[in-house]
Amino acid sequence: MPWELFEHAAPKYAEWYATRRGRRIDQAECGLLARLLRYFPAARTALEIGCGTGHFTHWLTSRAMKGVGMDRSPAMLREMRMRFPDVPAILAEAHCLSFGGAAVDLVVYVTTLEFLDQPARALGEGVRIARQGVILLVLNRWSLGGLSRRWGPQAHQPLLGQAQDFSLATLQRIVKESAERRFREMHWSSVIFPGCPWGVRAPIPLGDVIGLAAVLTRSLSEKH
């Protein structure tokens, strides 16, 4: 997917969070992130890959963590720096990170993998630089929203219509393949079910957003 699409969307991208629907979805997603963070009680640093205008990177800093945002779109990062000048922002490519191994405690992806040409490669890079684990929030292919993004009203939207959603099984597979011998355990939950309160979280892979925490063992570089 051409990252330039996000350049055009940047000026109004963050405004969506102020809409009624945006506030509700944001509440559900932040609740899911908070739940997944519990599997990393010792984490103090986090890099959000595909941070956009920095909404969730800023949220991570509110959890007593040092959050850093990274994105490929200069326009998105300009918006981020205006909104959150105290939060570090890095212009970089998700498929080839310039960080050394075990650079941060956590690597976080919030609806990022769906818009990358090589999501498995990008996830492998995230695993490489993560000391403790990786947290992912992804759009669910097998949900009411997933159907809308493929064949319904959202299919005609410039960004959501381009999303390559994931099923839970596919997400679990690429996480295990990317982590290889460092894989220890994973935990997942889902939010935004049709007809249910927005804050409901459940281990049912039918919500519009799936959250997954992959706990990693220490890398070989850390052991020596």
Reported as a single tens digit per residue, the pLDDT across 78-134 is: 999 999 999 999 999 999 998 888 999 999 999 999 999 999 999 999 999 999 999
Q: Which residues contact 188 (CB under 8 A, 6 or more apart)?
A: 168, 171, 172, 203, 205, 210, 211, 212, 213
Q: Can you give the pLDDT at residue 33? A: 97
Is residue 68 within a helix (H) or strand (E), and if so which, with residue range?
strand 66-71
pLDDT over 70 (residue 220): no
CATH architecture, domain defined by 4-223: 3-Layer(aba) Sandwich (3.40)
Say if CB 58 and CB 38 are below 8 A apart.
Answer: no
Best CA proximity match to 84, nearest among 110, 59, 54, 56? 54
110 phi and psi, to 5 degrees?
Answer: -115, 110
Q: Which residues contact 207 (CB under 8 A, 6 or more apart)?
A: 140, 143, 190, 191, 192, 193
Q: Can you give the pLDDT at residue 224? A: 46
Q: DSSP letters along 147-173, please?
A: HHHHHSGGGGSTTGGG---B-HHHHHH
Which ranges constitute the DSSP H helices of the chain? 4-13, 20-37, 55-61, 74-83, 119-129, 144-151, 168-179, 220-223
Reported as a single tens digit per residue, the pLDDT across 136-165 is: 999 999 999 888 898 888 888 878 888 899
Q: Can you give the pLDDT at residue 2? A: 57
Q: What is the DSSP letter of 79?
A: H
Mean predicted lDDT score pLDDT of the chain:
92
Say if CB 68 and CB 98 are below 8 A apart.
Answer: no
Distance between CA atoms of 117 and 95, rounded to whole angstroms? 9
Is the sign of the CA dihedral 65, 124, 49, 155 positive or negative?
Answer: negative
Would you list the domain boundaries of the chain?
Answer: 4-223
Quick count: other Cβ atoms within 10 Å of Cβ 90?
Answer: 15
